[in-house]
Amino acid sequence: MQHTSAKKVIVIGAGFAGLAAAAGLASEGYEVVCLEKNEVAGGRARVFNTNGFVFDMGPSWYWMPDVFEQFFAKFGKNVSDYYELVRLDPSYQVLYGDQEVLELPASMPALESLFESLEPGAGTQLQKFLKQAAYKYEVGINSLVYKPSRSLTEFIDPKLLVDVLRLDVFQSMAKHVRKYFRHPKLIQLMEFPILFLGALPENTPALYSLMNYADMALGTWYPKGGMHKIVEGMVALAKEQGVEIRLGEEVQRLELEGGRITHVVTAQGKYEADVVIGSADYHHLETKLLPQSFRTYSDSYWDSRVMAPSSLIFYLGVDKKLTGLQHHNLFFDEDFGPHAAEIYTTPAWPQKPLFYVSVPSKTDPTVAPAGMENLFVLIPVAPDLEDREETREHYYQMVMERLEKITGQEVRSHVIYKRSYAHRDFIKDYHAFKGNAYGLANTLRQTAVLKPSLKSKKVKNLFYAGQLTVPGPGVPPSLISGQVVAAEVVKEFAPQNVTLSH
């Protein structure tokens, strides 16, 4: 007698990549269990509530809305089935030490006027810049990033080869921006999104001007209730597809036989596996859960990777309304160039860091008690630093002093809730390699096939997803990563496993 049983997939980690992979494979007929070490799903996009404040713990920017729409559409759903989006206007503001504030308007004519006011002709230059960036976005986001990058042959497409010059893969972002703009503040604005990619503009391919298109043309959005609403939507979607999500269940070891993983073991149980997708920290999975002979990459390989920055974050509850701040605020009150470089080139705490402040309560009254504000303060810092309480406090006082001076108000004396988060927390909560927040920097030497592979070269049924593999750091790339890996699993492992029984 013949019967069929679904292939069993174990997904390690319930962040964006893990949930996307799990939902995709369950919808294809696989039996999927997602194991998450923390008590809340979402990975770095977890949430916590305290004293009436709702704090998103990680990502706070909602860019590339089309990537989210395309993901939900695969299941016949819309983003609006799970959460409500609002477009921010202004998208964000930049605060300078000289009492000058630039608000980035959502409307393109208003944005062009702003550029024109700083540099004659810059409005027209912006149109040209974004026209080219739109092309890169179309090719980059809709074609390149969905490639699994397991072989160079994937990129041998006559159209792509013709386009390689138009895509500016071999020119740096720094040179590209300066071809269009001269005013230092405009250069800063155009280079700012590169910080999300984790490398200096000098080392980042100009292909990534597609980020400017995402920022300025597609807009900055906010899911009402907070970024965790996306996670709640993805969890609901995954469960609708039949995924079992087990929280607070950390994977302790992988059992192998004949070059394959047979079981995934946690403190609570042992799970049979036909396929395993590791969407937790790649380095941790390789070096702590696999025997040395089954690791694809050596310790020296990992140590030579260029990491994106880590972060020192403060979650603050303030007992009054604040003035002079928008939902997203970039503090460029120190010299942008050299101090931005510190976080990538110097394995030390920066002297005069740039910082970012999100005040979601400006848009969403549900994330703070009435009459109060919810502040998320982020300082980009190098990974792999000694993370001590005194150091955190030193930087808290430094940036809050700057914030108070620039916005002309007392804030620290009104802070009624304060929590900090940095390297040692990233390591404890996510096993983050070197305490990283964003993964690997998107340098030319760490792009596509030059990233750690999404498929183990030594274990036949082990795949990887998330920010340390393709396509890279950020929420949309992580969402795409899960979809790409699911498609690769489907190619190699049919969902049904036909067995014979007597």
Number of domains in the chain: 3
Residue 89 lies in a domain: no
For each of the chain's 502 residues, which pLDDT tens digit applies?
Answer: 344 589 999 999 999 999 999 999 999 999 999 999 999 999 999 999 999 999 999 999 999 999 999 999 999 999 999 999 999 999 999 999 878 999 999 999 999 999 999 999 999 999 999 999 999 999 888 888 899 989 888 877 766 666 666 888 889 999 999 999 999 999 999 998 887 677 889 988 899 999 999 999 999 999 999 999 999 999 999 999 999 999 999 999 999 999 999 999 999 999 999 999 999 999 999 999 999 999 999 999 999 999 998 999 999 999 999 999 999 999 999 876 666 777 777 789 999 999 999 999 999 999 999 999 999 999 999 999 999 999 999 999 999 999 999 999 999 999 999 999 999 999 999 999 999 999 998 888 898 899 999 999 999 999 999 999 999 899 999 999 999 999 999 999 989 854 433 3
502 CB neighbour count, 10 Å cutoff = 3
DSSP letters, 400-434, are HHHHHHHHTS--GGGEEEEEEE-HHHHHHHH--GG
Report which of 83, 89, 79 is spatially closest to residue 109, judged by C-alpha positions.
Answer: 89
Residue 385 lies in a domain: yes
Q: Are residue 315 and residue 298 in the same domain, yes or no?
A: no
* H/E segment holding residue 155: none
Q: Are residue 315 and residue 291 in the same domain, yes or no?
A: no
Q: How far apart are CA 147 and CA 32, in angstroms?
A: 23
DSSP lists the bridge partners of residue 2 as 500
- 């006011």: which residue's tokens? 117
Of 370, 404, 430, which residue constitutes the final position of a domain?
430
Any idea what the CATH number is for the domain that residue 311 is in? 3.30.519
Q: Look up the domain containing 387 and give its range.
A: 307-430
Question: What is the maximal distance between C-alpha atoms in the chain?
Answer: 82
Q: Which two tokens stand for residue 447?
A: 């792009």
Report which of 486, 40, 455 is spatially closest to residue 245, judged by C-alpha positions.
Answer: 40
Q: Are residue 152 and residue 210 in the same domain, yes or no?
A: yes
Report which of 169, 479, 426, 420 is spatially closest to residue 309, judged by C-alpha positions.
Answer: 426
Q: How far apart are CA 481 and CA 24, in angstroms?
A: 12
DSSP lists the bridge partners of residue 307 as 440
Q: How far apart are CA 284 and CA 254, in angstroms?
A: 13
Q: Are residue 331 and residue 243 in the same domain, yes or no?
A: no
Q: How far apart are CA 408 and CA 406, in angstroms?
A: 6
Report which of 454, 448, 459, 449 is spatially closest to residue 489, judged by C-alpha positions.
Answer: 454
Residue 419 lies in a domain: yes
Q: Is 379 helix (H, G, I), strand (E, B) or coil?
A: strand
Q: Is 462 helix (H, G, I), strand (E, B) or coil?
A: strand
